[in-house]
Amino acid sequence: MDLTSLRPLAEKLFADIRALSFDGVGVTRASYGAGETAAADYLRAFALSEGLRVADDRAANLVFGQPDADPAAPAAWTGSHIDSVPQGGNFDGLAGVVAGLLCLVARRREPHGARLPLEVVAFRGEESAWFGKAYMGSGALFGKIGESDLALKQRSTGQTMAECMREAGADVDAIRGRQWLFDPARVKAYLELHIEQGPVMVARQLPLAVVSGIRGNVRHNRIVCHGDAQHSGVVPRWLRHDAMFSVADLIMRLDEHWRVLLERGTDLVVTTGIVTTDPDEHSISRIPGSVRFSFEARSKSEDTLEAFYQLMRAECKAIERERGVRFEFDRRLLSEPATMDERLCGLLAQACRDVGAAFETIPSGAGHDASLFANAGIPSGMLFVRNQNGSHNPHEAMEMDDFMLGVQALSDVFERLD
CB of 13 to Mn ion, least distance (A): 17
- Quote the Cα angle for 84-409-355, to 5°: 130
- Which has the closest alpha carbon to 392: 22, 113, 155, 93? 93
Interface segment toward Mn ion; rule CB under 5 A; list 21-29, 93-101, 151-159, 339-347: 93-101
Q: Residue with CB nearest ligand GLV?
A: 367
Residue pair 338/299 in contact (Cβ under 8 Å)? The answer is no
CB neighbourhood size of 264 (10 A)? 7
Question: Pairing relation of β-strands 326-329 and 216-226?
Answer: antiparallel
CB of 127 to ligand GLV, least distance (A): 6
Residues whose CB falls within 8 Å of the CB of residue 229, separated by 6 or more in sequence, listed in order: 281, 286, 287, 288, 289, 290
Is 96 an interacting residue with respect to Mn ion (CB under 5 A)? no
Tell me how many residues contact ligand GLV (CB under 6 A): 4
Residue pair 190/373 in contact (Cβ under 8 Å)? The answer is yes
Nearer to ligand GLV, 6 or 370 (CB): 370
Nearer to Mn ion, 224 or 397 (CB): 397
Residue pair 407/80 in contact (Cβ under 8 Å)? The answer is no
57, 83, 127, 149: residue in contact with ligand GLV (rule CB under 6 A): 127
Name residues contacting ligand GLV, limited to 360-389 (CB under 6 A): 366-367
Nearer to ligand GLV, 289 or 337 (CB): 337
Is 92 an interacting residue with respect to Mn ion (CB under 5 A)? yes
Nearer to Mn ion, 138 or 304 (CB): 138
3-state secondary structure at position 267: coil
Residue pair 67/52 in contact (Cβ under 8 Å)? The answer is yes
CB of 192 to ligand GLV, least distance (A): 12
Interface segment toward Mn ion; rule CB under 5 A; list 39-47, 86-94, 105-113, 201-209: 86-94
Is 83 an interacting residue with respect to ligand GLV (CB under 6 A)? no
- Which has the closest alpha carbon to 330: 177, 225, 211, 234? 225
Which residues contact ligand GLV by CB under 6 A? 127-128, 366-367
